[in-house]
Structure 1
Amino acid sequence: MSKLQVALSIAGTDPSGGAGIMADLKSFQARGVYGMSVITSVVAQNTQGVQAICHLEQSILEAQLKSVFSDIKPHAIKTGMLAEIETIERISRYLKNSDSPYILDPVMVATSGDQLISQDAVQSLKEKLLPLAMIITPNLPEAEVLCGAKIPDEASIYQAGRTIQTQFGVKNVVIKGGHLEGEATDVLFLENGDILTFRSDRIPTRHTHGTGCTYAAVITAELAKGRPIEKAVATAKRFITEAIRTAPELGHGNGPVNHITYKGE
């Protein structure tokens, strides 16, 4: 029996270390889980934006997926940046044959505002992956794309969450309200109908690069350890709040958060 639980991230890269695969692996390690990764896209990005993107050939993506799934079973699987329809379809085939919890971070736009995937890929993600996910973790702009409506206030979050659940057959949804004014409020919609709200003080900083990746990665790590969803989200909320509060202030733009500061449960 393995001495460590294993989490797999399928996503794009970030050479500056704040987002994507790099943030996921740091978060897995911080939560005591062995991390693996399959790279979908090589992204030249930093705290100031995205400079270039190269999507890997499907043969290389397939080879990576085979390497992982034929050898080491992940106890939880997270996807991030999936930019092409063929990539989404290929990954969906592996997920359908896996009994591990699947966490979908619907990465569409970078913190800098750069668009990361096409509209066609968004539609494929809705159809192929959302129904397979145990939980999805959209921020407000991503939730607006998924539900097809603006979310101008906290009250609108509650309608959006239910719409996403019913329209796409998603079991659990956590909508992150960091783009609103006031407290940073996240709302978790559970498949049994319960709704849980997680609040934290808003931290005045521009250093929030990779927060979405980190948040979803912590949830993935906790689910890999067998924690219930509500506790996984609560841990992720505490983790990201402390990670933002202690951000190392690196780079000339939106700097990364601190992936090694939070030590609590």
Structure 2
Amino acid sequence: MTIKPEHITPPIALTIGGSDSGGGAGIQADLLTFMAFEVHGCTAITCITAQNTCGVSRVDPLPASGLKAQIEAVKGDLNVSAVKTGMLMNDELIQATADELRHWPIPLVVDPVMVSRTGAVLLEPSAVVTIRHELLPMATLLTPNRHEAQLLSGEEICDEASAVSAATKLHNQGAAAVLIKRCGQQDLGGRDLFFDGEPHWLEGEWINTPHSHGTGCSLSAAITAGLAKQQGLHLAIDTGRTYVKQGLQRALAIGHGQGPICHWRTSGN
């Protein structure tokens, strides 16, 4: 008996970022998220991290030429319809990424991974300027947390007004839209700030769990998956926020530290 296979052509998204050996964030979280949304995920790895639920103990960057080769291999064969960047670490890797993406007319989500939730610095200080000048002008959406928004904008965020001020500055620096995640403060009720020339506070709720590793990576990946499926930006953000909320409600209590959100018992469709 011969079985005739069913061939499908799914949307394709590319993630450019670091590998998390603990499997909770970075490239690993991005691929899990893409799969939940039925999007085929491709990768270009910038660096290898040694980390687990307790933190990051080592980071080894890949050479910029190796990163460019990965991106070019994907671009030369696969019909990618959206791309996201995560941990880029240094000037050389950021510049290589910008060079490869500059003339690629597809949506770009920039998640400026700079500091881990356990306080580990994941970006060289000089690289902040390179991200600001090279990647922000290409971003369809910039998704910093409060600390990252402060570093990129140069403004302290301590309340709603200062969050709007920082988002305005980031928008003026070139990002088409900015999503400051949670603004980093429980007293804002789990709300996110979306800014596209005007501020829009996205209502949410604070989920009281210690296991939230990979939240930022997963949100930006979910939004990228939505864009790859030709969703509008507002719908992609709304769907992504719902996905992460569900993942936090079913977070994984693994390891001895901060476990990751659950990616597979959530609905990405």
The alignment's TM-score, normalised by the length of structure 2, stands at 0.94
In structure 1, the residue matched to 2:211 is 207
Contact 1:154 1:177 survives alignment (8 Å): no
Note closer, same or farther for the CA distance 1:264–1:223 as it changes in structure 2 (3 Å cut): closer
- 1:15-54 to 2 correspondences below 5 Å: 15-54=21-60
For 1:39 and 1:12, how far apart are their aligned partners in 2?
6
For 1:29 and 1:145, how far apart are their aligned partners in 2?
32
What secondary structure, in the 3-state scheme, does the structure 2 residue paired with 1:13 have? strand
In structure 2, the residue matched to 1:170 is 175
What secondary structure, in the 3-state scheme, does the structure 1 residue paired with 2:157 have? coil
Alignment partner of 2:228 out of 196, 202, 224: 224
What secondary structure, in the 3-state scheme, does the structure 2 residue paired with 1:12 have? strand
For 1:105 and 1:59, how far apart are their aligned partners in 2?
22
In structure 1, the residue matched to 2:86 is 80
- 1:38-117 to 2 correspondences below 5 Å: 38-117=44-123
Alignment partner of 1:250 out of 242, 251, 254: 254
What secondary structure, in the 3-state scheme, does the structure 2 residue paired with 1:119 have? coil
Listed as ranges, the gaps of 5+ residues in structure 1 are none
In structure 2, the residue matched to 1:259 is 263
The amino acid across from 1:209 in the alignment is H
For 2:199 and 2:239, how far apart are their aligned partners in 1?
17
What is the number of residues matched between the two proteins? 262
Residue 2 (structure 1) shift: 6.7
For 1:45 and 1:17, how far apart are their aligned partners in 2?
9
For 2:81 and 2:109, how far apart are their aligned partners in 1?
11
In structure 1, the residue matched to 2:134 is 128
Contact 1:29 1:35 survives alignment (8 Å): yes
For 1:115 and 1:154, how far apart are their aligned partners in 2?
26
For 1:138 and 1:175, how far apart are their aligned partners in 2?
5
Contact 2:37 2:268 survives alignment (8 Å): no
Contact 1:198 1:237 survives alignment (8 Å): no
Higher-Rg structure is 2
Residue 68 (structure 1) shift: 0.8
For 2:224 and 2:104, how far apart are their aligned partners in 1?
15
Residue 264 (structure 1) shift: 5.6
For 1:88 and 1:201, how far apart are their aligned partners in 2?
34
Residue 1 (structure 2) pairs with residue 6 (structure 1): no
Residue 245 (structure 2) pairs with residue 241 (structure 1): yes
Identical aligned pairs, as a percentage? 38
The amino acid across from 1:106 in the alignment is P
Note closer, same or farther for the CA distance 1:44–1:251 as it changes in structure 2 (3 Å cut): same
The amino acid across from 1:143 in the alignment is A
